[in-house]
Chains A and B, each alone.
Chain A
Amino acid sequence: MKKHLTKRQILEMADPGLSSRGNRSALESHVSSCMECSDRIDSVRGLLSPRYRDTVMPSPELRERVIASYRSSSAEKTHSRGRALFPWTLPFPARPVAAAATLALFLAAGLFFYNMITPAQDPISLTMKSVSGGVSCGKIPMKPMSMIPAGSDVSVQDSSWCEIAHGSSVSVKIFGKSSLLVEHASRESRAGSVYLRFRLYSGTLISSVKHDPVPVEYSYITPAAIINSAGTVLLITAHPNSTRVLVLEGSCKLNSTRTGEEVRTSAGYLYRIEEGISERPATSDDLRMYRSLIARTRVRAGALLHKEDRPVPGTADKPVKTGSSGLKNDTDSSREALRERRELLKSRREIRESGKEIRRAGQDLKRTRH
């Protein structure tokens, strides 16, 4: 071997414990003939020589100190046994018993505070605000102002619609060939928050929820998705294998029931939930569909009211408007609907105008900057 040893080989020669391979004899023969490598190995060996081993010796007092510590600790342990507060300070056999007792105590306290903190929820009923065409709950035809308690199954026939509401904050418009179960409806006794859960087996609905005057938390469960929301306008179309959700206002949380995928939605987007969740910006066709459904509810309400010369109250086959016990009430309602529409158009016009003004102001600002 003519080449000098590597650093690793020098370390291994100096400290035999470090060597892992069995080529020591070849290295030794090189070292015996190479002064430089031999010197380097010796210098590393020098580092390995002990420094304190032969000089350090513990004092006899230290031994006495250790024994004294042992005695005092034994005495303290004997005294402290009676005042152990926590399970881990106890000797081993008593520890599991003490731990179980502590756990039971904590559970009891937790249950007590849970009952104190968790507010009671009172069941509530929703109201059938408007009915048009064939709408039934179970086999009973629905009339306006009917109460819909939790557990009611609402079926809407083809080319019919109805509106379920809770005060002014919740409005669910259900359209033809739909089947909806009001699974849960309750109000928290302390804060007044409303909790709703619907199961849409199939069909189309427009959900519009406001937080005014009380907070509302609700969810829709379809065969393909779970839609959790608070304060949103949604158009939901459910089929056995897929669900479409058009978010028009606010946002909600979508979960695919098959894959468990979760998506936070944004307004102006259409979500399709099948195997997974796909999204795309809402097109004019989507919005047109929403508008046509809304218009249908308005127009049908207005048109039907004019036809209500011979109203047949209590029949679900005939379209009936809220509070329609006679012609006068219906005409009033029709006027009210027209007034609402006019106000809506007026407010839209105002919004357009204000938008134009903002644009104009922005352009002016740009010009002045230039």
Chain B
Amino acid sequence: MDQHTLTEIYDRHCRELLVYIRGFVKSPEQAEDLLHDVFVRLIQYSQDHDIDSSRVRALLYRISHNLCVDFLRQNSRSRTTSLDQVTAPDTSPSVESNIDRDELFRNIGELVSTRDHLSRSVFYMRTELEMTYAEIALNLGISERTAKRKMRAILHFLSGELEKTGFSGFNAIFLSLL
């Protein structure tokens, strides 16, 4: 792979990859570092193998997924997120109307981070990158059925947990934001 091909691949996929990685890591700097590592891995891989341009996207997502999982494993030793840490919002009528979008997103992020890595990947690929389930299956090397099953499970979990922790009317916020 020459430099021109690399820059072309980078320009085409860097943003979507960063969005995907950002779903796993909290800080934007860490996400950029991981994205850099993804491309370093791609360069190393290209030294021994021919890069098929039709499959490079799936390859990049596979590398990104593995690096994110490694990163989370390393960090989970020092810090873990439990469901108890998800803060329930103040539901008094005066404050309820002021719950901002970031607060809700933060809670969703915390809840998603308690799920397995594959479910998280499926969730972020579907929500952030609006991939079809066929694309998700191809990028993660799983079946389309598994991707759908993971998505159903995580949506079911999120809606249940958010209702449990006090976000019974969280749909109203979205309706107002949409």
Q: Using a CB–CB distance below 8 Å, which chain A residues touch chain B?
A: 7-8, 11, 14-15, 17-18, 20, 39-40, 42-53, 56-59, 62-63, 65-67, 69-71, 73, 77, 91-92
Cβ-defined contact, A51 with B18, below 8 A: no
**B155 contacts A15, CB within 8 Å?**
yes
Q: Is the CB of B127 within 8 A of A43?
A: no
* Contact A73-B43, Cβ < 8 Å, known A47-B127, A50-B128: yes
Instruction: Pick from B34-42, B66-74, B85-93 the stretch touching chain A.
Output: B34-42
- Complex interface: chain B residues within 8 A of A71 (CB): 3
- In Å, the complex CA distance between A58 and B18 comes to 7
Give chain B residues whose Cβ lies under 8 Å from the Cβ of A39. Answer: 171
| B23–A52 CB distance below 8 A | yes
Q: Is the CB of B6 within 8 A of A67?
A: yes
Which listed residue, B43, B48, B130, B155, touches A70 by the CB 8 Å rule? Answer: B43
Q: Give min CB distance, A177 to chain B, whole Å.
A: 70
B83 close to chain A: CB less than 8 A: no
* Sample (14) of A-B pairs whose CB atoms are under 8 Å apart: A7-B156, A18-B152, A40-B159, A43-B170, A52-B22, A56-B15, A56-B18, A56-B22, A62-B36, A63-B11, A63-B14, A69-B43, A71-B3, A77-B47
Write the nearest CB–CB distance from A58 to chain B, whole angstroms: 5
Which residues, 25 to 71 on B, are CB-close (under 8 Å) to A? 28, 31-32, 35-36, 39-40, 43-44, 47-48
Choose from A43, A50, A52 the contact partner of B159 (Cβ within 8 Å).
A43
Residues in B with CB closer than 8 Å to A45 are 171, 174
Instruction: Say if the beta carbon of B140 comes within 8 Å of chain A.
Output: no
Q: Which residues of B contact A8 (CB under 8 A)?
A: 152
Chain B residues contacting A48 (CB-CB under 8 Å) are: 126-127, 155
Closest 10 pairs between A and B when the two form their complex, measured CB to CB: A46-B174, A43-B171, A66-B39, A42-B171, A52-B22, A50-B128, A58-B14, A51-B105, A56-B19, A69-B40
* A69-B174 contact in complex given A53-B19, A56-B22, C-beta closer than 8 Å: no
Docked pose: A115 CA to B122 CA in angstroms: 58
**Interchain CB contact under 8 A, A46 and B173:** yes
Q: Is the CB of A53 within 8 A of B128?
A: yes
Known: A39-B171, A51-B128, A67-B3. A44 touches B19 (CB 8 A): no
> Told that A51-B127, A69-B39 touch, could you supply 18 new A-B pairs with CB distance under 8 A?
A14-B155, A15-B151, A17-B133, A18-B152, A42-B174, A43-B159, A44-B155, A45-B174, A49-B127, A51-B128, A56-B19, A63-B7, A63-B10, A66-B36, A69-B36, A73-B47, A91-B48, A92-B48
